[in-house]
Every structure is written in structure tokens, then in C-alpha cells.
Structure 1
Amino acid sequence: MRKFASRMYVRIYAALLACLVIAAALFAFIHLWIEPARHVHGFSGVDASVDGLAPPAGASQEELQRALIRWRRELKADLALYGADGRQLGTIGRPLPGPDLDMRSSGVMPAYPSVFAFKLPDGRWLIAQKAYPHNASAAMLVLLLMIAATVAVGAYPVVRRITSGLEQLQRSVQAWGRGDLAARVPVQGRDEVAQLAASFNESAARIEALVGAQKSLLANASHELRSPLARIRMAVELLEDSASPAMRQELGRNISELDQLIDELLLASRLDAAPADSVGQEEVDFTGIVAEECARVGAALDGVAGILRGDATLLRRMVRNLLENAKRHGGSAQVSVALARDGDGDAGGGMASVRLEVCDGGPGVPPEERERIFEPFYRLPGASEKAGSVGLGLALVRQIARRHGGEVECLPNGARGACFRVRLPSGGRTSA
């Protein structure tokens, strides 16, 4: 029974039902106050008073009207005086029906339950109906306001409890989607939202453990590969005299690729394992870093960027990966690099940012592949493994850019080639 009562739909239904019951009670109270049909029996026992106030049968019209006014004050009702033959002699207030001549004594008129007929001693009839209070409209308005307030006050705690649980679940899911795998939802109650929160917590814990084990395995395996790689490198050096130049060159190239793969795997694992806000915030001369890397590969640099806040080592790796990727796939064309500073936070034009563009003259990237090339270990169709790429360079570029609050995208470079554009929040000053 308690499990059934904790169901969300039962609580919503019970809250609405309680509000409707209270509203019905309020309506009945107001209705009894302003509905004259409910007070018709209040005329019983006042026959003697009516007889005493009755004017003589031959009274003038003025005397009849004064008598009706006195009756109205006494009975607090709308009145009409009829003769024994059913002819109307006078009226005050709302129009009232004529008497039922078949009635033998005073009482409620059968055809009109809210109308009372007084039979006077001389055979005349005084028809009475309780008058609506002057504040009947105000009473109805108050009734509607009370009903609205009752529904609002009665339903709010239930609705707020449900929505607060959903809001907590939403915040935790969003945090979990942003990479905070430790995010959990507080479980309160035993309704459907609480069950959903518990299920989410269990699933998140399993996924966190699985991802953690995967990252740990990858990092440990990458680290352990350093030792056999060093031994292979030493063995190649010992074979320098006996092996052919072509074999030594091929072995050296393979070792370099393996060394690069291990280095990038270790960096990717470190970035995945570190919290999102763990990037250093020292001032970095981004223009100097880009200029040094351009000089290393012989790329043309145009423009300046200024000072950034971030991790100098990671930013250098990002620039180096972009330049090596452009050099690798750009053919014989020279790689061009452009730096610019967009926006001006001090001038009210929004947050200032630094734009880095690395463009090559190679075959370019098809539009449908421009997002996939940022996936780990993804190579364009037809790409040769001998090109030296392991498929992690651009994935690391995106990871590093996002860790610094930026983004990277692949664009066409005119009719031929590709252009990689990185935008990073400056967070610093322009260099001289």
C-alpha cells in the first residue's frame, strides 16, 4: 500500500482531488449564502407578522405600497401582492409569479421551490422570494479567487517536489554529459523520479568504472611500451654496420612512428583523466610559440595573436600537430599560417579571442569527412600508413583546444587544400 501511495501519478491525482473537494466545499458555502432557494423555509412562522402588517382590503394604492415596503423590511425579500382572484395589486423588487389558487394555506409554491406564498385572512396572497444580497457578484468573485488560491496552494508542493527532483536529475545528467563522470543524483523518496535517479546513479557508476579501467589500461600499456621501444632502438643502433641503409631507414621510421604513437597515447590518456578545469592558467606568448613551430617546419607566418592564458606545453603540441598534419598532407605546397585577434572585451564587443589558421595546398578534406578526422585513429579513405600518421594528432588538437575553452574546425582552402581554424579565448593582453 505504501509503495502504491508513493507513485507519482497517485500523488498528483490525490492533490488535485483534494483541491477539488475543498473548492466544492467553498462553492457550497457561498451558494448557501447567496442562493435564496435555500432560505425559503425561513418564511415559516412569520404568518402572524404578515397578518399584522396587512392593509385593509379597500386600502389605496399608496397604502398598499407602504405596506409592501414594511413587509420588505420585515421579510428581506422581493414581494408581490395578489387578490383572491389572482389579480396583481402591487409589487416591489423583482417580478414574481402569481399564486397557485389551488393552495389551501401558506407554503412553498410547488412550481417555484424558491417562492413562498402567504395566504392572508381575507383571501389575498403575498408572494415572497428572498432577495439576493447586494454583494452577490462580489461573493462569486471571492469564490473564484478562493478556488484558484486553493488549487494553487494545494498543488504547488506536489508539483514542486516532482519538478525539483527532475531538475536535480537534469543538472546531474548535463554535468555527466560534459565529462564529469563522478556526477550523481540525490535519491529522495520512492517515486518514479527517485527510481530513475537511482538507475542513473548505478549506470553512471558502472560507466565511470569502465572508462576509468580503460584509461588506466591505456596509460599503463603506453607507459610499459617505453622499455621495449628503448631496447629495439638500441638493437637497431647495434645493427648499424651490418644492416643495409634502406633497412636502417625503415626501422628508424617505424621506431619514430611507434614513439610518436606512445607519446600521443600518453598525452590523450592524461587529458582524459584530468579534470576539465585542470589546464594551467599561466600567461603564454602564443605568437612566439607559433613562430618557433613555423620556423621548425618552414611554414609562412602572418599576423600576431598576443598573450593567452593556458598550458604552454599543450598549446605547443596543438600547433605542432596542425603544422605536421599540413606538411604531411599538403604535398610540395608551402604551409601558410595566419594569426589574428578577434573581438575586444574592453570595448564592449564581446570576449576577445585568438584565431589560428593553418592552411595547406593538398587534396583537401571532403565535406562529409571534416568532422570525422577529429576522431581518434581515424584516417581518410585511401590514406597510406606510410604517410606517418597514426590518427591521433587532430584528435589531440581538438582535446587541447576544448580544454582551453576553444574549438577547432576544418574548412576548405579555396579550390584545393584544407584549412584548420582554431579559436581560443585570449584571456590576456596583446603583445607589443
Structure 2
Amino acid sequence: MIVRSLYLKILFAFLAILTITMLLTVGLFLMTAGRSYKCYLDQQATAKLKIFKVMVQKELDRHKDLPVEQNPDLAQFLDTCTALFGVKLWITESGGHIVLQSFEGPVDFMSSRVSPKIYHDDGITLYHYAHYVLKWEKYYAVIPISDQNQELILHLFVDTQKSSRHEGLFLIGMLLIGIAATLMLIPTVLYITRRVNRLNQTALAFAGGDLSVRTDIKGDDEIAKLGDTFNLMADRLERLVSNSKELTANVSHELRSPLARLRVSKELILDKLNTDKLNMDNTDQKGAADAILRLLNNMESDIRDLDALIEESLIISKMDYQESALEPETFRFSDFMESMMDAYQPLLSSHCLTLALDIRDLGKARQDKALVKSVLSNLMDNAIKYSRSGNTIHVSAGTVSPKGLEFSVSNPCPPMSQNDLDRLFNPFFRIPGQKAPGTGLGLTIAKKQVMRCKGTIRAEHNGREICMTVSLP
């Protein structure tokens, strides 16, 4: 599972570091302080065993004339120790025969699968058994004693019968400390991620076209400085975009005046030539006049192209500079499409083109009707402009949701690279080798209008046709 939330990443990273730190701390404790503590306890146990040996030997010496098993004081002493301290005591001869014991039952008490720690001191051997999984400790001591020149062995066995150990308590304490540290960290992590999310939402709003949005993150830390840097960047970008849009709008508007003067001058020259031509008797003069007329007609074509370019530039500038609100309305999309296609029949006929319709009537749609009409007109004009006589233009349309709709316009087109398809919506881009007149702004305008509706427009080529598909939510 990939964790994408910054909050969870920080929290999990802290928990991982905390867990590793706790494990290393517990391990270090067991290897140093814990081991020293155990050694200290075992040393104390050995010292007590020395004292216990002296006390047992004193009871033996009190009745030297009696066998060990008949010594009443020794038997009573051992029974008392067993009753008070819960230890098992027994005495054996050097051959291993039990001569006296303070408990009933067998003396086989330890499994050979558990390896003890062994301590030797003054003839006393102490076996320390510990099982870290089952959490218990047991001690077994072998103490040499003597009676009437006979060597005896006193055996002592202690089962602590503890259900918990010091290490367990220490680990529980560390766990509680870790939980407390995590709980204290959560507000800090939430504080950080909440501010990052606010900055992210502001950036998304700015990327969505709201250039006036700013973040209000307070403080002197890195996130607050990042917020201030974002605001500074947004201010400069807003001014830059605003100045650029205003410049484009003003330049496009101002170009209309010299174009109008050029057209008027052309008309005056044309009138003058037509008048003079009627009075000309020389064939050479008439030929020169006809050449000038052709140049003037070419000038008129260039003026119309430039006028169209300015018009489309003004449209784009107005869309960027002062974007009007959408005016959605409910209408039957199939009827709308049929009406649009009927209006295009004369133009299609004049270019010797046929139209193939595939309209799916799936109900009503709710969109800005004028905007949809503008997008569809751009696509149809484009398809007609770049289609040769005798070709067929395919139009497919239908509703795709209770409110959304989708339509596509396809026309024959030479194969195109994916790079050229991606650049079709860039301003002033023309298909390489294409000689049809145009400004290269029609698809740019269509894309901007589609984006206003939060929709998508894409270009695809199937090897024979290029298809422009529009989806509006």
C-alpha cells in the first residue's frame, strides 16, 4: 500500500523511529543495566547461600552423635525454611542417596532443554534458570557440608513462580512513553499538514484560473515563508498576465484602424483605375491597369485574412481578459444538432461535401447553448475548410449523463504524428503542408470555450480521418 498523505507519512515515520529507538533501548538495557542487575542479584544469592550453609552446618554439629536423618533440629530447621520461603531442601550422600528432604515427591525438577547460568563461589555452585518467553526464573544451588567426617551435599531449589519480570515492566513503561509521545505528536502533524493543504488548495485555485486567490498562512516558519513566496509569485504572474491580455486586446483593436484605412485607400485606387481604364485607348496601358487591379485584389485577400486574424485574436483576448459567466439552459441536444447541421447544408453543398450524422437521442442536456454552438461551429468550419471535394464529414453526438453531452466531428486527413496532434490546439499552429487559408486560432478558441465548461477536447487520427471529440460534463 502506497501512503500518499503527508500526515500519515510523518506519523508512520515517527512511529518507526520510535519503535526502533525503544527496541534499541530495551536491548541496551538488557545488555548493560539489566545484566548488571542480574549479576548483582546472583551475587547476593551466593552470599545468602554462604550464610545458609553456616546455619545448616551449625545444626549438624549440634548432634554429631546422631545420623543426619535422625537429627531433629536439622529436620525442623529445613521444614521451617521450606514453609517460610517456599524452597525445596534435601541432603544427599556423595553417592547421590537422599538422606533427608523437606518436601514430598520426587526431586526431578528441571528440564534439560533449559540452559542455566552457573556461578561458583567457596565450593557453592548456583544454577540460574530463566525462560524469557514463559517469563519465569528458577534457582538451584549445590552446597557442600560435612558430618562425622562424611561429606554431604545440601540441595536447594527455588521456583520464583513470577508471572512478570522486570524487563516486561520496563518494556510496558517504554510502550506507554511511546504512546504518550505519539499522542503529543499528532497535533503538531495535523498543524503542519493542515497548513500544507491550505497552500495546496490555494495553488489549485490559482491554477484553475482564479488569479486573485492568495494564501493566508501565518507564522515565521518554512511553510509560512513558502506561502509568502507563493503570494509574491501570484502577484507578479497576475500583473504579467493582465498586462499581456490588455496589450493583446489593445493592439488587436488598434490594428483595425490602419486596416480600415488600407481598405479605403484600395477602394479609391480601384475606382480611379476603373475610371481611367474607360478612357484608355492604348492596349499596353490597359494591360498595366489590369495588372494593378490583380494586385489590388490580392491586397484585398490579405486584408481579409488579417482582419479575420485580428477578430479571432480579439475573441481570445476578451475570453481571457473579461470572461463572462456561463448561462446554462436545458435543451434537447438531438434537436439542436439537427438544426445546426441543416444550417450547414448550403455550405457543404458549395464545397461538394456530404454529411454523415449519427445522433443518439438520450434525453435533454443542460449547457450554455451559445458556447456549445460556437465550439461546434469552429469544428465544422475547420472540417469543411480542410476537406477536399467529394469527401464526407462524419458528425456523432449524444448525451452521456443526465446533464453532460459529447459530440465529435471527423473529416479525411493525411496521417499526422502524435506531436502534431498535441499541438493542434496551440495558437497559430498549422498542419505542415496544409495550404488552406486560416489563422490557426479556431481550435484554440474552441479549447478555451470547452475548458470554461470544465470539459475536454481531444484530437485523434485513425489513419484515414482526424476526429475532434468534445466531452462536456
TM-score of the superposed pair, with normalisation by structure 1: 0.68
Q: Which is worse superposed, 165-174 or 203-212?
A: 165-174
- 1:290 is aligned to 2:340: yes
Specify whether residues 220 and 68 from structure 1 end up closer, same or farther in structure 2 by C-alpha distance, changes over 3 A only: farther
Question: If you compute each CA radius of gyration, which structure gives the higher value, 1 or 2?
Answer: 2
- 1:389 is aligned to 2:438: yes
- 1:266-300 per-position Cα deviation (integer Å, ceiling 9, x unaligned): 2222333456x943222355425632552352262
Please tell me the residue identity of whatever aligns with 2:238: E
Specify whether residues 121 and 421 from structure 1 end up closer, same or farther in structure 2 by C-alpha distance, changes over 3 A only: closer
- 1:135 is aligned to 2:164: yes
The separation in 1 between residues aligned to 2:321 and 2:56, in whole angstroms, is: 100
The separation in 2 between residues aligned to 1:421 and 1:209, in whole angstroms, is: 34
SS at match of 1:370: helix
The separation in 2 between residues aligned to 1:130 and 1:223, in whole angstroms, is: 102
Q: Which residue of 2 aligns with 1:167?
A: 197
Q: Which residue of 2 aligns with 1:263?
A: 311
Paired residues of 2:145 and 2:154 also in contact (CA < 8 A)? no
Q: Which residue of 1 aligns with 2:239?
A: 209
- 1:193-238 per-position Cα deviation (integer Å, ceiling 9, x unaligned): 4443433333233222212221121122223333444444444444
Q: Which residue of 1 aligns with 2:357?
A: 302
Paired residues of 1:116 and 1:128 also in contact (CA < 8 A)? yes
Q: Which is worse superposed, 58-67 or 305-314?
A: 58-67
Specify whether residues 420 and 121 from structure 1 end up closer, same or farther in structure 2 by C-alpha distance, changes over 3 A only: closer
Q: Which residue of 1 aligns with 2:228?
A: 198
Paired residues of 1:281 and 1:310 also in contact (CA < 8 A)? yes
Q: Which residue of 2 aligns with 1:340?
A: 397
The separation in 1 between residues aligned to 2:414 and 2:437, in whole angstroms, is: 17
Task: State the superposition RMSD in angstroms.
Answer: 5.2
- 1:227-261 per-position Cα deviation (integer Å, ceiling 9, x unaligned): 44444444444445235653454343333322322
The separation in 2 between residues aligned to 1:383 and 1:169, in whole angstroms, is: 46
Question: Shift of the alpha carbon at 1:375?
Answer: 0.6
Q: Which is worse superposed, 283-292 or 325-334?
A: 283-292
SS at match of 2:121: coil
Structure 2: gaps spanning 5 or more residues:
1-9, 61-67, 102-106, 111-115, 130-136, 148-152, 274-291, 349-353
SS at match of 1:313: helix
The separation in 2 between residues aligned to 1:61 and 1:134, in whole angstroms, is: 38
Paired residues of 1:182 and 1:208 also in contact (CA < 8 A)? yes
Q: Which residue of 2 aligns with 1:101?
A: 122
Specify whether residues 163 and 222 from structure 1 end up closer, same or farther in structure 2 by C-alpha distance, changes over 3 A only: same
Please tell me the residue identity of whatever aligns with 2:122: L
Percent of aligned pairs with the same amino acid: 24
Q: Which residue of 2 aligns with 1:224?
A: 254
Question: Shift of the alpha carbon at 1:372?
Answer: 0.7
- 1:316 is aligned to 2:373: yes
The separation in 2 between residues aligned to 1:214 and 1:402, in whole angstroms, is: 20
- 1:377 is aligned to 2:412: no
Point out the structure with the larger strand share: 2
- 1:124-151 per-position Cα deviation (integer Å, ceiling 9, x unaligned): 8786878363234974774564355245
Q: Which is worse superposed, 87-96 or 145-154?
A: 87-96
Q: Which is worse superposed, 15-24 or 253-262?
A: 15-24
Question: Shift of the alpha carbon at 1:59?
Answer: 5.2
The separation in 1 between residues aligned to 2:76 and 2:318, in whole angstroms, is: 103
Question: Shift of the alpha carbon at 1:370?
Answer: 0.8
Q: Which residue of 1 aligns with 2:386?
A: 329
Question: Shift of the alpha carbon at 1:401?
Answer: 1.9
Please tell me the residue identity of whatever aligns with 2:427: P
Specify whether residues 404 and 96 from structure 1 end up closer, same or farther in structure 2 by C-alpha distance, changes over 3 A only: closer
How many residue pairs get aligned? The number is 395
The separation in 1 between residues aligned to 2:415 and 2:208, in whole angstroms, is: 31
Specify whether residues 68 and 176 from structure 1 end up closer, same or farther in structure 2 by C-alpha distance, changes over 3 A only: farther
Q: Which residue of 1 aligns with 2:298?
A: 250
TM-score of the superposed pair, with normalisation by structure 2: 0.63
- 1:411 is aligned to 2:449: no
Paired residues of 2:57 and 2:145 also in contact (CA < 8 A)? no
Please tell me the residue identity of whatever aligns with 1:263: E
